[in-house]
Amino acid sequence: MLSYITKRLFLMVPLLFGITLITFTVIHLAPGSPVEVQTEMSLKASAQARENLKKLYGLDKPLHIQYFDWLRRFVRLDFGRSFVDGRKVIDKIIERIPITLTINILSLILIFSVALPIGIISATRQYSLFDKLSTVFVFIGFSTPAFWLALLLMILFGINMGLLPISGIQSIDVSEMGPFERLWDWIKHLILPVGVSAFGGVAGLSRYSRSSMLEVIRQDYIRTAMAKGLTEPEVVFKHAFRNALMPIVTILGLSVPGLIGGGVIFETIFAIPGMGQLFYSSTMARDYPTIMGILVIGAVLTLFGNLIADISYAFVDPRVRVSKK
């Protein structure tokens, strides 16, 4: 197992190298040098910022040296300073992580607790009314733009019924509230964003767990379990569900990058000060150091997420463990 992990980590090195190369290329796609573009785009760019930029990109040096200089900084998590406010990019990113992480963990919990039961019931009652309805729901879920759903829910719950706030993560008068009121205020602000960001995931995971479950139910050992007179719940939960869960475990690993990444669109709609919104505002301001910082961190997290998915898969499935020794 350990040698497998080491091998995988080793294989990641060329991938990481390539990722930084692509990101570096994207920077140089920018028409003109980043310095010119920046000073052109923003009147705020001071001589100091321009110097910082030249220093960051080392624009006077040959291209391959520029790349290695840049790489050396990235390895030390030095993404330079933001064009917009001159603060360190890594600080700007770190302060955004908690809120995005909170929302995404909550929505992940929601996704699993809603989608798994749907998937199991659909599979054990294949072609029943419930299965057909959930299939329809899955297709609608796949096809609904999340930001549109957000707008509709804002209109329904926020404006027509006046039940929920439609933007931000706290009310203006939050400082006058007691601790419980404050918690309730926070929960009310999170209901819509968490619900919207979970919606597509519920559709996807319930479909996935349904097919995984269907696969398992056809196996001989399930028939054996039924034949020896076990009750259906026993067979479904003890024998079938555990085995169906294996491929689902990998989904958890694969959702790691999404935990930090966050949704650009729905964070913008709900005015949530998370990573997605930071990325969007950086895009609009052409704040290249921040854009590139988030992009590389996102890609690296994706690689680690894949690794975690594979390792956890090997962990729950002894067959993989043995063959990969």
Partner 1 sequence: MRLLSVVGKRFSRNRLSVIGAVTVLLLLIISILAPFIAPYDPTATDVRHTLSPPSKTHPLGTDELGRDLLSRIIYGSRVSLKVGFVAVGIAIMTGVIIGSISGFYGGVIDAVLMRFVDMMLAFPTFFLILAVISILEQNIFTIMVVIGLTNWMDVARLVRAEFLSLKEKDFVSAARAVGVSDVRLIFRHILPNALSPVFVAATFGVAGAILIESGLSFLGLGVQPPEPSWGNILTAGKDNIEVAWWLSLYPGLAILVTVLSYNLVGEGLRDALDPRLWEAERH
State the nearest-atom distance from the C-beta of 143 to partner 1, in Å.
4
What's at 166, amino acid-wise? I
H or E segment and range at residue 13: helix 2-29
> Is the CB of 71 or the CB of 177 nearer to partner 1?
71
> Is the CB of 144 or the CB of 170 nearer to partner 1?
144
State the nearest-atom distance from the C-beta of 254 to partner 1, in Å.
11
> Is the CB of 151 or the CB of 222 nearer to partner 1?
151
* Angle, CA 153 vertex, CA 151 and CA 155 arms, to 5°: 70
Q: What is the spatial distance between Cα 96 and Cα 278, in angstroms, rounded to a whole number?
A: 8
Residue 155's SS3 state is helix
State the nearest-atom distance from the C-beta of 237 to partner 1, in Å.
29
Query: Which window, 28-36, 59-67, 104-112, 168-176, contacts partner 1 (CB under 8 A)?
Result: 28-36
CA dihedral 281, 282, 284, 285 (to 10 degrees): 120
Residues 271-300 that bind partner 1 (CB under 8 A): 279-280, 283-284, 286, 291-292, 294-295, 298-300
Out of 19, 111, 251, 278, the residue judged to bind partner 1 by CB under 8 A: 19
Task: Give the Cβ contact number of residue 99 at 10 Å.
Answer: 19
Query: Which window, 60-68, 90-98, 186-194, 255-263, contacts partner 1 (CB under 8 A)?
Result: 255-263
Out of 155, 183, 187, 271, the residue judged to bind partner 1 by CB under 8 A: 155
Task: Give the Cβ contact number of residue 63 at 10 Å.
Answer: 10
Out of 33, 42, 268, 312, the residue judged to bind partner 1 by CB under 8 A: 268
Q: Helix 288-316 to helix 275-284 angle, to the nearest 10 degrees?
A: 150
Count Cα neighbours of 51 within 13 Å in the Cβ-side half-sphere: 3
State the nearest-atom distance from the C-beta of 116 to partner 1, in Å.
22
Residues 303-322 that bind partner 1 (CB under 8 A): 303, 306
Query: Which window, 18-26, 168-176, 218-226, 241-249, contacts partner 1 (CB under 8 A)?
Result: 18-26
Is 257 a residue that touches partner 1 (CB under 8 A)?
Answer: yes
Cβ-proximal residues to 243 (8 Å cutoff; 6+ apart), any chain: 216, 219
Out of 33, 170, 302, 312, the residue judged to bind partner 1 by CB under 8 A: 302
Q: What is the spatial distance between Cα 146 and Cα 159, in angstroms, rounded to a whole number?
A: 19
Residues 40-69 that bind partner 1 (CB under 8 A): none
Binding mask 118-147 for partner 1 (x = CB under 8 A): ---------------------xx-xxxx-x
Out of 4, 5, 15, 42, the residue judged to bind partner 1 by CB under 8 A: 15
Residues 184-243 that bind partner 1 (CB under 8 A): none
Helices first, then strands: H and E counts in the chain: 16, 0
CA dihedral 319, 322, 323, 325 (to 10 degrees): 150
> Is the CB of 26 or the CB of 183 nearer to partner 1?
26
Token couple for 130: 């419930």
Site residues for partner 1 per CB under 8 A = 14-15, 18-19, 22, 26, 29-31, 139-140, 142-145, 147-149, 151-152, 154-155, 159, 166, 257-258, 261, 264-265, 268-269, 279-280, 283-284, 286, 291-292, 294-295, 298-300, 302-303, 306
